[in-house]
Amino acid sequence: MKKNNVLVVQGKLDDAERLKKESNYLRGSITKDLKNNITGGFTGDNFLLIRFHGMYQQDDRDIRKERIKQKLEPRHAMMLRCRLPGGIITTKQWLEIDKFAIKHTIYGSIRLTNRQTFQLHGILKNNVKLAHKTLNKVGLDSLATANDVNRNVLCTNNPVESFLHKEVWTWAKKISEHLLPKTRAYAEIWLDQKKIETTDVEPILSDVYLPRKFKTTIVIPPYNDVDIHANDMNFIAISKNNKLIGFNVLIGGGLSIEHNNKLTFPRIATELGFINLDSVLKVAESIVTIQRDWGNRTNRKNAKTKYTLERVGLENFKKEIEKRSGITFKPTYDYKFTHRGDKFGWIQGFDKKWHLTLFIENGRILNSSTSKIKNGILEIAKIHTGDFRITANQNLIIANVTENCKEKINCLAVKYGLINKITKQRQNSMACVSFPTCPLAMAEAERFLPNFITKIEVLLNKYNIKNDYIIIRVSGCPNGCARALLAEVGLIGKALGRYNLYIGGNKIGTRIPRMYSENITEKEILIILEDLIKQWSLEKRKKEGFGDFTIRKKIVVPVLDSARDFW
Amino acid sequence: MTNKLFHDQTLPITKEQLSNLNELIKDFSHNQIAWISGYFWGLLHNKSVIYNEKNIIKNFSVTIISASQTGNARTIAKNLQQDLTLNKIENKLINASDYNFKKISKEKYLIIITSTQGEGEPPEEAFSLYEFIMSKKAPKMSNTNFSVFGLGDSSYAHFSKAGKDFNNRLLELGGIKILDCVNADIDYEEKEKKWRKSILEIFCNKKLILEEKNSIVVHKKTEKKIYNKENPLLATLINKQKITGRFSEKDIKHIEIDINNSGLTYTPGDSLGIWYENDEKIIEEILYLCKLNKNLQILLKNKKITLFDALKKNFELTVNTPNIVKYFANLSRNKFLLRISESVEKLKKYSDSYPIIEMLKSYPFSFKVDQLINMLRPLKPRFYSISSSQLENENEVHITVSTLRYNVNYNNYTGGASGYLSDRIKEDDKIKIFVEKNNNFRLPIDHNLPIIMIGPGTGIAPFRAFIQHRINEKAKGKNWLFFGNPKFTEDFLYQTEWQYYTKLGFINKIDLAWSRDQKEKIYVQNKIQEKSKKIWKWIQKGAHIYICGNAEKMAKDVEKVLLEDVISKNGNMNIEFSKKFLNKMRISRRYQRDIY
| A81 included as an active-site residue | yes
Q: What's the pLDDT at B124?
A: 85
Q: Check pLDDT > 90 for residue B27.
A: no
Q: Check pLDDT > 50 for residue B47.
A: no
Average pLDDT score over residue span B48-56? 40
Work out the pLDDT band at B211, boundaries 50, 70, 90: very low
Average pLDDT score over residue span B477-492? 98
Low-confidence ranges of chain A (pLDDT < 50): 1-3
Q: Residues 6 or more apart from A524 whose CB is under 8 A from it?
A: A517
d(CA B156, CA B186): 11
Nearest one of A114, A257, A298, A273 to A562, comparing CA atoms: A257
pLDDT digits (tens, 9 = 90+) for B53-91: 443 345 678 999 999 888 889 999 999 999 888 888 889
Burial class (CB in 10 A: 0-12, 13-18, 19+), A484: buried
d(CA A519, nearest CA chain B) in Å: 7
B561, B547 contact by CB (below 8 A): no
CB A38 to CB B512 under 8 A?
A: yes
d(CA A86, CA A82): 12
Q: What's the pLDDT at B60?
A: 77
Number of helices and strands (H, E) in chain A? 18, 20
d(CA A8, nearest CA chain B) in Å: 24
d(CA B457, CA B371): 40
Interface of B with A (CB under 8 A): 97, 117-119, 124-125, 127-128, 153, 155-157, 186, 241-246, 254, 488-490, 492-499, 502, 510-512, 517-518
Expressed in percent and rounded to 5, the helix, strand and coil fractions of chain A are 35, 20, 45
DSSP assignment string, B547-584? EEE-IIIIIHHHHHHIIIIIIIIHTT--HHHHHHHHHH
d(CA A518, nearest CA chain B) in Å: 8
d(CA A416, CA A192): 40
Dihedral sign, Cα of residue B340, residue B346, residue B351, residue B357: negative
CB A261 to CB B245 under 8 A?
A: no
Residue A86 backbone class (left: φ over 0; alpha: ψ -120 to 50; beta: rest) = left
Q: Residues 6 or more apart from A305 whose CB is under 8 A from it?
A: A214, A232, A233, A251, A252, A254, A287, A291, A295
Which of A70, A124, A495 shows the shortest C-beta gap to B245?
Answer: A70
Q: Which residue has the higher pLDDT, B36 or A75?
A: A75
pLDDT digits (tens, 9 = 90+) for A2-46: 445 689 999 999 999 999 999 999 999 999 999 999 999 999 999
**Alpha helix positions (H), B119-269:** 127-134, 161-172, 189-204
Average pLDDT score over residue span B518-524? 95
| A215 included as an active-site residue | yes
> What residue of A is the nearest CA neighbor of B518?
A126
Q: What's the pLDDT at B77?
A: 93
Residue A87, CB-side half-sphere exposure with 13 Å CA sphere: 30
Q: Which helix (H) or strand (E) holds A233?
A: strand A233-240
pLDDT digits (tens, 9 = 90+) for A179-195: 999 999 999 999 999 88
> What residue of B is the nearest CA neighbor of A263?
B187
Task: Supply angle C-alpha B274, B277, B283, rounded to 5.
Answer: 155
Q: What's the pLDDT at B221?
A: 52
Q: Give me the residues paired with residue A214 across strands.
A: A150
Which of A42, A70, A105 is most worth mutating to test chain B (most B CB atoms within 10 A of its CB)?
A70
| A438 included as an active-site residue | yes
d(CA B334, CA B323): 15
Q: What's the pLDDT at B120?
A: 87
Q: What's the pLDDT at B213?
A: 45
| A511 included as an active-site residue | no
Q: What's the pLDDT at B226?
A: 86
* Phi, psi values for residue A560, rounded to 5°: -110, -35
Q: What's the pLDDT at B10?
A: 52
Q: Residues 6 or more apart from B263 whose CB is under 8 A from it?
A: B222, B223, B224, B225
Q: What's the pLDDT at B39?
A: 59
Nearest one of A430, A436, A462 to A526, comparing CA atoms: A462
> What residue of A is the nearest CA neighbor of B132?
A69
Q: Which residue has the higher pLDDT, B31 or B364?
A: B364
CA distances from B321 to A23, A58, B355, B372 (A): 65, 51, 9, 14
Burial class (CB in 10 A: 0-12, 13-18, 19+), A307: buried
> Which of A 301-330 lie inside 8 A of B, CB atoms?
none
B111, B80 contact by CB (below 8 A): yes
Average pLDDT score over residue span B307-312? 96
Q: Which residue has the higher pLDDT, B51 or B549?
A: B549
Sort out which chain A residues have CB atoms less than 8 A from B128's CB and list them.
68-69
Lowest average pLDDT, out of A48-52, A372-376, B46-50, B299-303, goes to B46-50
The reply to whether A263 touches chain B by the CB within 8 Å rule is: no
Which of A63, A70, A519 shows the shortest C-beta gap to B244?
Answer: A70
| A27 included as an active-site residue | no
The reply to whether A110 touches chain B by the CB within 8 Å rule is: no
CB B489 to CB A75 under 8 A?
A: yes
The reply to whether A542 touches chain B by the CB within 8 Å rule is: no
Work out the pLDDT band at B49, boundaries 50, 70, 90: very low
Q: What's the pLDDT at B301?
A: 85
Q: What's the pLDDT at B119?
A: 78
CB B128 to CB A68 under 8 A?
A: yes
Lowest average pLDDT, out of A61-70, A394-403, B43-52, B446-455, goes to B43-52
d(CA B312, CA B413): 16
| A540 included as an active-site residue | no
Q: Check pLDDT > 90 for residue B547.
A: yes
CA distances from A351 to A163, A347, A390, B203, B305 (A): 8, 11, 20, 80, 94
CB B499 to CB A73 under 8 A?
A: yes
B475, B466 contact by CB (below 8 A): no
Q: What's the pLDDT at B55?
A: 36
Q: What's the pLDDT at B86?
A: 87
Q: Which of A27, A115, A151, A473 is catalytic?
A: A151
Q: Around Cβ B365, how many Cβ atoms within 10 Å? A: 16
Average pLDDT score over residue span B562-586? 96
Q: Around Cβ A419, how many Cβ atoms within 10 Å? A: 19
d(CA A100, CA B254): 36
Sort out which chain B residues have CB atoms less than 8 A from A66's CB and list them.
246
Nearest one of A179, A347, A162, A175 to A244, comparing CA atoms: A162
Q: Give me the residues paired with residue A493 across strands.
A: A499
Q: What's the pLDDT at A495?
A: 94
d(CA B554, CA B456): 8
Q: What's the pLDDT at B210?
A: 47
CB A68 to CB B124 under 8 A?
A: yes
Q: How many CB pairs under 8 A join A and B?
A: 80
DSSP assignment string, B36-100? HHHHHHHHHTT-----SGGGSPPS--EEEEEE-SSSHHHHHHHHHHHHHHHTT--EEEEEGGG--
d(CA A124, nearest CA chain B) in Å: 9
| A405 included as an active-site residue | no
**Alpha helix positions (H), A505-565:** 522-539, 546-552, 562-565
Sort out which chain A residues have CB atoms less than 8 A from B186's CB and list them.
259-261
Percent of chain B with pLDDT over 90: 73
Burial class (CB in 10 A: 0-12, 13-18, 19+), B69: buried
Q: What's the pLDDT at B125?
A: 85
B322, B351 contact by CB (below 8 A): yes
> What residue of B is the nearest CA neighbor of A73?
B496
Q: What's the pLDDT at A507?
A: 96
Give Cα B396 to chain centroid, integer Å.
9
The contacts found for B293-302 with CB under 8 angstroms, 24 or more apart, are: B296/B369, B298/B369, B298/B373
Which of B246, B487, B506 is most worth mutating to test chain A (most A CB atoms within 10 A of its CB)?
B246
d(CA B262, CA B147): 35
> Which of A 113-172 lie inside 8 A of B, CB atoms?
124, 126
Task: Supply angle C-alpha A482, A485, A487, rounded to 5.
Answer: 80
Sort out which chain B residues have CB atoms less than 8 A from A126's CB and list them.
488, 517-518
Q: Check pLDDT > 60 for residue B7.
A: no
| A477 included as an active-site residue | yes
d(CA A442, nearest CA chain B) in Å: 7
pLDDT digits (tens, 9 = 90+) for B371-385: 999 999 999 999 999
Q: What's the pLDDT at A39?
A: 98
Q: Around Cβ B560, how many Cβ atoms within 10 Å? A: 13
Which of B124, B186, B502 shows the shortest C-beta gap to A65?
Answer: B124
Q: What's the pLDDT at A295?
A: 97
**Alpha helix positions (H), A423-467:** 424-427, 449-462
Q: Which of A81, A125, A494, A511 is catalytic?
A: A81
Which of A68, A71, A128 is most worth mutating to test chain B (most B CB atoms within 10 A of its CB)?
A71
The DSSP symbol for B381 reads -
d(CA B116, CA B164): 10
Q: Check pLDDT > 50 for residue B2.
A: no
Nearest one of A135, A70, A387, A202 to B491, comparing CA atoms: A70
Q: Which of A75, A83, A184, A215 is catalytic?
A: A215
Burial class (CB in 10 A: 0-12, 13-18, 19+), A2: exposed
Instruction: Say what the alpha-carbon torsion angle B387, B389, B390, B391 is, to the nearest 10 degrees.
Output: -160
* Phi, psi values for residue B487, rounded to 5°: -130, 135
Whole-complex ipTM: 0.92
